[in-house]
Amino acid sequence: MQLTLNIPVLCAIPLAPLVGSIIAGFFGTKLGGNRIGHGASQFVTILGVTIAFVLSCNVLVQVMDGFYFNGTVYRWMQLGELNLDIGFLIDPLTATMMCVVTFVSLMVHIYTIGYMHGEEGYNRFFSYISLFTFAMLMLVMSNNLLQLFFGWEAVGVVSYLLIGFYFERQSAVFANMKAFLVNRVGDFGFILGIGILLASTGSMQYDVIFAQNSALAAQTLPGTSWNLMTVACICLFIGAMGKSAQFPLHVWLPDSMEGPTPISALIHAATMVTAGIFMVSRMSPLFELSDAALSFILVIGSITALFMGFLGIVQNDIKRVVAYSTLSQLGYMTVALGVSAYPVAIFHLMTHAFFKALLFLAAGSVILGMHHEQDMRKMGGLWKYMPITCLMMLLGNLALVGTPFFSGFYSKDSIIEAVAASHIPGSGFAYFAVMASVFVTALYSFRLYFYVFHGKARWGHNDAHSHDHHHDHAEQGDDHAHHGLAPGQKPHESPFVVTLPLILLAIPSVIIGFYTISPLLFGTFFGDSIFIDLARHPVMKELEDEFHGPVAMAIHAFTSPVLLLVVLGVLTAAIGYLWAPKLPGKVAETFAPIKKLFDNKYYLDEINQAVFAKGLIWIGGFLWHRGDQKVIDGFFVNGSAHAVGRFAGVIRHLQSGYLYHYAFAMIAGLAVLLAWVLYAYLPFVR
């Protein structure tokens, strides 16, 4: 029996997590006097997300049967003829995002019960992640740019709270400020794009804007010769560069590891970082009007996919390896957007959400089993002690590298084929980048797997890396106060409440790509929710012509260079971290300058600090000292006061107190007034 979808039911989907967040946040913390305990807080938040997930699945089922909704929930404000509404757009694209967001969020909520057990801010954490889910749902369900921007900023604000969850640590405070400020840079471009569309169309409703796309394509930005759509789309994508962490606005994402591991999974897998990919796909009728904007997207995505993958090779923190993997995979999705393969981008977004959440939560399980140790140099041989986590990590990595028949294979391979078929400027560089990234991805992912679960056990005793290890944690922090295994201690498998979400996430990580590639890419699933101008950008048509089913696609992969690159990457990792463990050190010494470049993350943080941060501080100091103190306070405020004082000092001498002085002044004034009147109004006087 299907639930009838109407406005109250649709409203319940985002509001259920919000209610849970409010109850846990106000009554489960010091703010509300700690009136409810851990059990009640986790119950109300998990219940809220469960309701959202069940209703989202119901929405997806009915959307597949032809359900469509585009309507206003209520009118927030009316400015002249401009209506600012809160409304929902329910179509296949929205329904897909709703299911992905709520399912991953639910798994994270359940996982948190075991992972955050004993934390002082336990109830506060549940409130935050539930609020985060509400914000993301409002973003994906919106039918207008106003509500989209609300959800866009709401996930940014909550991410600030989540990344800085351990606010006692200076590194966490720096990380959340960094994420907040970098995203504001992207959001400035985003709001400029919204402003251009509003000024050009007079509306913020998607359907009204899309209906005018032909007229918009012929317009130029006032006062320039620039195509209006090119400027608007690039501005919108700059917003996506911040949210989806594209080069050079990617610098905040690795630092988000300062938050607890469940947050890493939630932000990286299904919510905040996918918002940019979703937004560009939603705005596909506009982006299809500008090849220049698509080319810009393609090049940025290619740079991110390849060069962020390189950084994953040199990381020693288990969470940061997975974080740089997220950056690289977001680059893949962006590349798909750039070649007008929007369904492929959403397809990879979906498959990636499952296996990336799996990888993060498996990494968290390792950290938990190692008594909150995050340095891979302090691990090794864990498969004997954590067999479930080991298997789940292996399945996640196999999906990530694009192993045939796994979910990641179908989405990644489709992106590579789409780039190969594209003729958008920059597609040649993009093809090289995604192909090279295949090898790099296999290398860093299986480096992690072999380093952590196989080889010699490096835990339970001090080693040569001890000093470096503590230095790393001083910079990066970890989820809890650092303990690590003491001499004689052994790792242990995580409790069932932690491993259960891993198993549930592993299932779609393996099979969902096989069952969904045909309807999502080559069927009519997305319908009108995504627009592609096949006459100008025939990539999807070419992919469809070459597709002969998921089995044939997987079999064909065994003869493709992509799988060869995957195998070479895995073999390289096995040689370096299983069979010849001294080899990576020798390679690092040989290529010391490149290693130093990677270790310092291309010096982008230093450039940002030296140029932008210090530059803005200098500008602020100059404006304060010269502008505020010298000009405003010195000249206008104090100067005017001084001038008034001097004028008063002169005028006061005219105040003698003698009546005949004042009478003389009146007579003199009347004489002057009479002379002016005679001169002005009597011509014969002149």
Q: What is the mean pLDDT of each run of 10 residues along the chain (686 residues)?
A: 78 92 85 78 92 93 89 85 87 92 90 82 88 92 91 89 85 86 89 91 89 85 86 92 87 83 76 87 91 93 92 88 90 92 92 90 87 82 87 93 91 92 90 93 92 80 46 46 63 85 91 90 86 88 89 90 92 89 85 86 81 80 79 79 80 73 84 82 62
Handedness of CA 116, 121, 122, 124 (dihedral sign): negative
Q: How many other CB atoms sit within 10 Å of the CB of residue 503?
A: 15
Looking at residue 629, its pLDDT comes to 76
Distance, in Å, from the CA atom of 327 to the CA atom of 325, rounded to the nearest integer, reads 5
* Residue of 354, 149, 119 whose CA lies nearest to 259: 119
Q: How many other CB atoms sit within 10 Å of the CB of residue 246?
A: 28
Distance, in Å, from the CA atom of 32 to the CA atom of 591, rounded to the nearest integer, reads 57
126-to-47, 153, 165, 184, 496 alpha-carbon distances in Å: 12, 20, 11, 26, 19
Name the one residue in this structure whose structure tokens are 């069927």.
523
Looking at residue 663, its pLDDT comes to 85
Looking at residue 685, its pLDDT comes to 55
Helix axes 539-546, 407-421, angle to 10 degrees: 120
| Amino acid in position 181 | L
Distance, in Å, from the CA atom of 480 to the CA atom of 260, rounded to the nearest integer, reads 8
Looking at residue 469, its pLDDT comes to 42
* Bridge pairing between strands 82-90 and 69-79: antiparallel
- Residue 78 pairs with which residues in a beta bridge? 83
Q: What is the pTM of this model?
A: 0.85
Looking at residue 391, its pLDDT comes to 93
